């Protein structure tokens, strides 16, 4: 039988076959191979107890992408959450999320949360940086503003949410799906008992066919494991100009007749994005020098 892992908890993988949900163990062979089933995996399974809805995972289908922290697979879309205030937006972190999502080959949307308490114009600033590159949604996890619009781009896709701590990821997830506990705050952590107290990964179905990964984690990403050459293509607006530089191996730092720097001077590439590109490039260089 085939199914999708929709939840991983205490050594069990809950496999949804479309008809039933089975609590499955993973065959020992995975452990020997160093493979762990992830939420989002498409798997083959064998039923061991039909009545108790128990089984074994016998094979994991090839993944389109996967992440270790949190352990999820087959992400189709990333929603990167930025907060307009408290905390102020951190474009370094946002751009790391974005580069990783580009590397994983997913679709990308950006949600700006907490615009209601933005006194510094951060909302407009973020929009000026990102709205030409990605779809940007203004949402409020608190009031529910913009969530219906956001929901429409989640339809029929599997979306993971990423955002630095404090940006309000769990309120947005809760607004989209009332059962989604996400990272429960300290208060609810203490008061809620039972299934919501354990930090685990789960895939929630929305009524429009969309699915959202409810996970702790994704509060930080390492710099992408892309090569120096690849990195420029993980910034779509830089990639657009990269082929027009004088030198084929231009890294757009200080080379002559660099089309990327010319675009930067014209304002076609934002300074903030360009700086993120440079700092990620630096980190990749450092990593490679070991
Ligand atoms: Zn260049």
Compute the distance from residue 96 Cα to the ligand 1 centre, in Å: 21
Compute the distance from residue 252 Cα to the ligand 1 centre, in Å: 4
Residue 265 tokens, joined: 């001077």
Compute the distance from residue 231 Cα to the ligand 1 centre, in Å: 13
Q: What is the pLDDT of residue 64?
A: 96
Q: What is the pLDDT of residue 181?
A: 61
Q: What is the pLDDT of residue 153?
A: 97
Compute the distance from residue 276 Cα to the ligand 1 centre, in Å: 15
Compute the distance from residue 263 Cα to the ligand 1 centre, in Å: 10
Q: What is the pLDDT of residue 27?
A: 84
Residue 178 tokens, joined: 């009332």
Q: Is the pTM of this model over 0.85?
A: yes
Low-confidence ranges of the chain (pLDDT < 50): 183-198
Q: How far apart are CA 278 and CA 288, in angstroms?
A: 15
Q: What is the pLDDT of residue 42?
A: 97
Compute the distance from residue 99 Cα to the ligand 1 centre, in Å: 18
**Short-list 91, 108, 88, 90, CA closest to 100:** 108
């Amino acid at each position: 039988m085939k199914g999708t892992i929709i939840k991983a908890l205490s050594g069990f993988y809950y496999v949804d076959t479309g008809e039933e949900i089975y609590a499955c163990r993973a065959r020992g062979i995975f452990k020997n191979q160093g493979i762990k089933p992830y939420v989002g995996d498409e798997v083959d399974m064998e039923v061991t107890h039909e009545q108790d809805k128990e089984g074994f995972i016998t094979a994991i289908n090839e993944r389109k992408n996967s992440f270790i922290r949190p352990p999820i697979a087959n992400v189709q879309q990333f929603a990167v959450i930025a907060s307009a205030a408290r905390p102020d937006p951190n474009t370094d972190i946002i751009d790391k999320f974005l580069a990783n999502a580009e590397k994983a080959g997913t679709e990308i949307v950006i949600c700006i949360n907490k615009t209601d308490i933005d006194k510094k114009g951060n909302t407009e600033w973020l929009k000026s940086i990102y709205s030409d590159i990605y779809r940007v949604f203004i949402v409020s996890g608190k009031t529910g503003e913009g969530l219906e619009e956001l929901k429409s781009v989640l339809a029929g896709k599997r979306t993971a949410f990423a955002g630095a701590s404090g940006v309000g990821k769990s309120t947005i997830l809760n607004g989209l799906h009332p059962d989604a506990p996400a990272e429960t705050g300290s208060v609810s952590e203490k008061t809620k008992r039972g299934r919501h107290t354990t930090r685990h990964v789960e895939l929630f179905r929305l009524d429009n066919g969309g699915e959202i990964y409810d996970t702790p984690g994704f509060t930080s990403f390492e710099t992408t494991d892309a090569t120096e050459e690849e990195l420029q293509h993980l910034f779509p607006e830089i990639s657009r100009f990269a082929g027009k530089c004088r030198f084929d191996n231009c890294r757009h730092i200080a080379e002559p007749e660099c089309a990327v720097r010319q675009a930067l001077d014209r304002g076609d590439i934002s300074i903030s994005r360009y700086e993120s590109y440079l700092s990620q490039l630096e980190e990749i260089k450092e990593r490679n020098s070991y």
